Structure 1
Amino acid sequence: MDCILDLQHPAYPEAPRAIAQRRAVRGVVLRDTRILLLYTRRYDDYSLPGGGVDASESLEDALLREMKEETGARAIRLLAPLGRVDERRPHWGQFDAMHMQSFVFHCAVDGELGEPAMEHYESANGMRPLWVELSEAIDHNQAVIQRAAASMGTSIIRETRLLQWVQENLLPQNQSSRSR
């Protein structure tokens, strides 16, 4: 997949010795101008459903699992791969740096959402799936970024930049204006 976003945390070490590699998946589900997101009360932010890929999983299987767990969706269709986000962060476990690649897919969800099966920390953080106007989610996250401490991680920046990319590349009104 082509890289659609490349991020490096300001505190990323100049010459990291021990680098963890992590693969993740993210799902983009649109209904007109609304998008299926996860709101996390603890961080007061919106993010795309998704998460880490287990060693034995394909990207597609990991995304279906994460979408079911986090949103309660049961009838999920993968429409197309959209691209990859490359992210370099400092300090991850016993490693002094982490390289994460998030593979982003356009998906469809048929029917209503069921009951999510969140992991304990997700429930404890107040995570819940919501259909949100895409522009409102972007504005909300940007306001959170403006208020945030300098030590803020790259997750909300990644998510906000991805939401902006979706708005520019997948919303019908933006697609028609680009094709003229």
Structure 2
Amino acid sequence: MKRLFTIDLKDYDETYSRFKRPSVRGIIIKDKTVAMVYSNKYDYYKFPGGGIEKNEDYISTLIREISEEAGLKVLENSICEYGSVLRIQKSRFAENEIFEQENFYYLCNVENSIHSQSLDDYELNEGFELRYVSVADAISVNRTHDHADYDAMLIEREAKVLELLVKDGLL
């Protein structure tokens, strides 16, 4: 999969150990809008998706995560690679550790029906909800609203991917 861009804060020492957490993200486009997960607590948009579990492949993770976070059923034959974003920074959770996350983005279609979400505790705490939103609105919220010092790299990553989708004529 082609690398779209890298975000590297370079806020770490190269001698630190690395914790790698690959993840997948779904790009679901419908009527010039995109399906995004909105955080009511921190006021930002993100593509539905999440971390790849041990012994889980990327496509299975994508299908599972979109179902859990957004309540949408992916049409497996519609899945198409878009690109990846590499994120590197000092871990927020462990001292002397580098957090490295490659985010793999896939274009996909979903069934029209929406079922209930199956959210983790932190996702419930953030008040995750599915919204079909215009690119302009999602970028505006991510770049101009107060996110209470939440993960700025994640929020900006999603805005940059949205811009690339527009540039590539997909939205």
1:112 maps to 113
The total of aligned residue pairs comes to 169
What does residue 79 of structure 1 align with? 79
Alpha-carbon shift at residue 74 of structure 1 (Å): 2.2
Q: CA RMSD in A?
A: 2.0
Identical pairs, percent: 23
Work out the CA distance in 2 between the residues paired with 1:115 and 1:150: 29
Q: Distance in 1 between matches of 2:82 and 2:133?
A: 20
Q: In structure 1, what is the Cα distance between the partners aligned to 2:20 and 2:63?
A: 22
- Equivalent residue of 2:27, what SS? strand
Deviations 1:58-96 (A, max 9, x none): 100100000000111124334310111111011254352
1:101 partnered with 2:102: yes
Residues 7-66 of structure 1, C-alpha deviation per residue, up to 9 Å, x if partnerless? Answer: 0125x2142421111110000000131000000011100000000000101100100000
Q: In 2, distance between residues paired with 1:112 and 1:5?
A: 33
C-alpha distance in structure 1 between counterparts of 2:154 and 2:127, whole Å: 17
For 1:18 and 1:96, locate their aligned partners in 2 and report how far apart those are by CA, in whole Å: 5
- Secondary structure class of the residue paired with 1:111: strand
- After TM superposition, give the deviation of residue 130 of structure 1 in Å: 0.8
Using the size of structure 2 for normalisation, the TM-score is: 0.90
Matched to 1:139, the amino acid is S
SS of 2:166's partner is helix
Contact 1:7–1:88 under 8 Å retained in 2: yes
Question: Runs of 5+ in structure 1 lacking a partner?
Answer: 173-180
Give 1:177's aligned residue. Answer: none
Inter-CA distance 153–90: structure 2 relative to 1 (3 Å threshold): farther
Paired residue for 1:90?
90
User: 1:20–1:92: 8 Å Cα contact kept in structure 2?
Assistant: no
Describe the shift of the 1:170–1:55 C-alpha distance in structure 2 as closer, same or farther (beyond 3 A). farther
What's the secondary structure of 1:57's corresponding residue?
Answer: coil
